[in-house]
Amino acid sequence: MTSEQPTPKITDQTYLKNEQYRTEANLQARIALHRKYGTNPGSWFRWVYDHLFLPVGAAVLEVGCGPGDLWYENRDRLPAGATILLGDLSLGMLHAARSKNALSPGIRYLALDVQSIPLPSASLDCVIANHMLYHVPNLEAALREIRRVLKPGGWLCAATNGRNHMRQISELVQQFAGIDVLPLMSVRKFALENGPGLLSPFFSHVDTEIYDDNLRVTDASDLVAYIASMGRLDNQADQRTFEHLSSHIHELIEAQGYIFIEKSQGIIMATG
Amino acid sequence: MNPAYPEIDWNICQACDPCQARLVCKTRAIVQPDPGEPPYIDFSRCTRCALCVITCPCQAITTQNGHHPA
């Protein structure tokens, strides 16, 4: 059942920029599942922002800002006089972020690669990397750059997933369709478990905070859309496999009422 | 929660670089603009958790009643 087409790598910047994250559509399909079926009634983006403690006049950079949801969802409490820089490799994402945050003053947009940040050294109070460090080909170069642009005492908020994050989805696809989606889902390169150790050489103090959430998916079509958004099963060659998987998910939900999906998600706060 | 805000005694503070109390403060209430100079506490951000009091290796941080829980 497996296709000849190789699975795109999670760190393939050309694929990430020109296909997976060319527009916000794939990412929003995935965010939608979390918003609709998350067992935590709060908002992930509000929770992340709660941990930033941005001071008045803060200089902040979000690398891999995506469609700028963090800033949109916290637009009622952005710090006064702050300089907020949103950076992403994808121009489509920057365009979406700019449209979404058009009414928030003081936000600027940069096309950037975190491995070479076009900002002066010691110029920022806080850098945010929300679910993106595992996409970076040279993680060490990225962390060195983040440390460089942070002021002494500045902090990094790195959000990522744990190794068991949504494992039921990868197991379902792997077992039923025989297709390995792990290269796209896996965050082993920078996960909650190994992230602190990877940050330690660059920061004096590292703390992990876990976001308490799981998914109870009751509509099969939402889960099917999520899997399609990963960009591995939606091509013509895999159409039959995809249809089989889709009907299997429908049957499972019909029988059980829902599919439980375990989440493992959090932030690693690192201070220099 | 400790009812009193912590205070840094600059006569005791050794201005460690980095300041260990600043590193553990989750609300970023300990501000050290110049490494090598004593930090100060931003009371608008301090939650009085007293983690800084326990952490400071110089025992330079106390609560306002002079009590050092460590």
Instruction: Report the residue from B18, B27, B28 with minimal CB separation from A272.
Output: B18
Ranges assigned E (strand) in chain A: 59-63, 83-88, 107-111, 124-130, 150-161, 205-211, 214-217, 259-262, 265-271
pLDDT class for A132, splitting at 50, 70, 90? very high
Contact A155 B28 (CB under 8 A): yes
Question: What angle, rounded to 10 degrees, do the helices at A239-256 and A220-229 form?
Answer: 150
CATH assignment at residue B43:
3.30.70.20
CA angle A244, A246, A251 (to 5 degrees): 95
Non-local CB neighbours of A258 within 8 Å, separated by 6+ positions: A216, A217, A218
Strand pairing report for A265-271 and B30-31: unpaired
Domain span including residue B19: 1-70
pLDDT class for A137, splitting at 50, 70, 90? very high
The DSSP element (H or E) to which A34 belongs, if any, is helix A25-37
**Structure token digits, residue A77:** 């409490």
Contacts of A152 in chain B (CB under 8 A): 18, 32, 35
- Kindly tell me the sign of the dihedral angle through the C-alpha atoms of A240, A245, A248, A253: negative
Please give the tally of structural domains in chain B: 1
Asked if residue A39 has pLDDT above 90, the reply is: yes
Asked if residue A153 has pLDDT above 90, the reply is: no
* ipTM > 0.85 (yes/no): no
| pLDDT value at residue A126 | 97
| pLDDT value at residue A239 | 75
Distance CA A203, CA A115 (A): 17
pLDDT tens track for A176-189: 667 666 555 557 78
pLDDT tens track for A42-66: 999 999 999 999 988 999 999 999 9
In A, minimum Cα distance to B27 occurs at: A53
What value does the mean pLDDT take over residues A78-101?
95
Asked if residue A120 has pLDDT above 90, the reply is: yes
Judged by DSSP in three states, A203 sits in: coil
pLDDT class for B14, splitting at 50, 70, 90? very high
Q: By the 8 A CB rule, do A60 and A82 touch?
A: yes
| pLDDT value at residue A19 | 74
Question: Domains in chain A, start-ordered, CATH in brackets?
Answer: 13-164+181-214+264-271 (3.40.50.150)
